[in-house]
Amino acid sequence: MQVFVNGEVHTLASSVALAALLQQLGYCGEAFAVAVNGRFVPRTEYAATAIHQDDRLDIVAPVVGG
């Protein structure tokens, strides 16, 4: 199955929870926000949010600097 993360195609073996996908992609800590198909997902819902074929994820992290 394919999903799009920040515009890049990622191939997954099967549907997965958002929390597990973020872990696979190396996103750790608290300094980012996620939207799935244009909808912001609160951190408390990551484990319960299933990711499916052709879903589009936008992962945004703050940038330090001026």
The structural domains of the chain, with segments of one domain joined by +, span: 2-60
From CA 26, how far away is CA 37, in angstroms rounded?
20
Task: Please enumerate in sequence order all residues whose Cβ is within 8 A of that of 53, keeping only pairs 6 or more positions apart, or say none.
Answer: 1, 2, 3, 15
CATH superfamily of 2-60: Beta-grasp domain (3.10.20.30)
To the nearest whole percent, how much of the chain has pLDDT over 70?
A: 98
What confidence score (pLDDT) does residue 66 get?
62
Q: Whole-model pTM? A: 0.87
Q: Compute the average pLDDT of residues 13-29.
A: 91
